[in-house]
A and B are shown apart, each in its own frame.
Chain A
């Protein structure tokens, strides 16, 4: 409709950062649509919010219960407001002139939801497990909003990966280390012979059809092997945590592993965020972890530059820092993020 004969060819092609921003906008839009499911307009949604307070200390639980009480007084109005906010965040990030406002709103709203809607992701309850979505999807939205903040750097100062453009290489790598390291800690804290089996068995009862069957099969497979599987998973998560400090090619291999683990968690552990139950408010942490991995993907030029540095043709930076500008001064574009 948009005058295909004229318009698409005239528009600038989005770079890698912009593509990731659009992916984040897409997730917000999906959240907004999920928020419009029939269940969300009932008092059941307020009950779901209140359940997030369980196990939290008093100072953390009180605001959650207050928010649930508020939502329960006018569920239709409250939910319409939630959905509208998410829709506006999505459209603001998708619009180029409003991207900063959208990302700022995304961070603020996500942090509020993390506390008031997810009970801080359960990290204070002692029952948080990355298999079921810890440390909470909302905090990952906030982290992504910060990491994908538009950078004002000149082209010759392009960072080695997209996420580094907002807060610097070391800070963003430490954030990655903290995130995946905490996932490893949560996994170890939950390790017990029957822990994973109980988790999957409980999920199976909330699902239907083939997803329930998958959970039951996983519960059967993990019977009495829960501790060993948790230990292996924790080691893998630790490898992923330190992977971004490795040289380019090794970092890429670790990021591929991170995406694979995120996919496994999303399908087997989170059951696609519960979207097929009619009461899923978001796709949970799996897609967000994968999106984070994409934001840390070393740029191709960075690898070339690292190679040049080793052969004495380096223009800047250390060999382990895939700092980079493309050979031809060309910015990477959508579809080339993983090149």
Chain B
């Protein structure tokens, strides 16, 4: 990534915190009698660690090819869940659109993982020539950046929306685990992802 080191370090710390929190959600939800979306928590954990490694290379735990395989699998998983949700229509089934943001985020991670090595090389070359940094990835990075920004805004709106009674039969079952804190994590992940993509322009 090109950008001030202190900013990259701060964002990396936030991403690692998000990853740690998502792990704690996966561990604590069941003993506390709460529900959580295990797939979303898992992928946020992976995104947090992977993005921290891209922001601060010394934090990179795994080689890029392993992350690429992981996010390709995640993208496939969320695509299949969206298709299954489209086929099934029930009170307890989320709408297909619920999975699309996570599918897009997995796609953006794949894009970044493919682009970061080239962006670093281009940034180093530009710095050596005294020119501006950035990888020149242009339109693709910009489009991928717009999506998490929009989703962050949407999540912030949902986060603070007044809750109205759900139409139809009341939803039964255990309540979700700390949904607002989960939304905060989502917003942090989305903004960090957008920042990383914008710095590739």
Contacts and interface: CB of A to CB of B under 8 A. Distances in A.
A41 interface: yes
Nearest to A39: B132
B129 interface: no
B48 interface: no
Q: Which of A4, A22, A26, A277 is packed against the most chain B CB atoms within 10 Å?
A: A4
Interface residues of A, number: 44
Contacts of B179: 1-3, 6-7
Contacts of B139: 276
Nearest to B22: A1
Contacts, number: 150
Interface in B3-55: 3-4, 7, 35-37, 40-41, 44
B201 interface: yes
Given A33-B145, A38-B132, A3 B175 contact: yes
Nearest to A94: B156
Q: For chain A, what secondary structure do more than half of its interface residues adopt (helix, strand, loop), or is it mixed?
A: helix
A167 to B, nearest CB: 24
B39 to A, nearest CB: 9
Given A8-B94, A95-B157, A33 B166 contact: no
Interface stretch (A9-17, A60-68, A196-204, A234-242): A9-17
A1 B186 contact: yes
A12 B36 contact: no
B160 interface: yes
Given A22-B157, A278-B134, A279-B132, A10 B165 contact: yes
A96 B153 CA distance: 11
Interface stretch (B56-64, B69-77, B190-198): B190-198
Contact of A95 (B41, B132, B156, B175): B156
A265 interface: no
Interface string B147-164: 001101111111111111
Nearest to A36: B195
Interface string B177-192: 1010011011100010
A29 interface: yes
A276 B142 contact: yes
Contacts of B185: 1
Contacts of B165: 10
Contact of B152 (A5, A12, A29, A34): A29
A7 B157 CA distance: 13
A9 B156 contact: no
Contacts of B201: 37, 275-276, 278
Nearest to A5: B92
Interface string B62-86: 0000000000000000000000000
Interface of B: 2-4, 7, 35-37, 40-41, 44, 92, 94-95, 98, 132-134, 136, 138-139, 142, 145-146, 149-150, 152-167, 171, 173, 175-177, 179, 182-183, 185-187, 191, 194-195, 198-199, 201
Given A5-B173, A8-B95, 13 more contacts: A1-B179, A1-B183, A4-B37, A4-B98, A5-B35, A10-B165, A12-B164, A33-B198, A37-B134, A37-B198, A94-B160, A98-B160, A276-B138
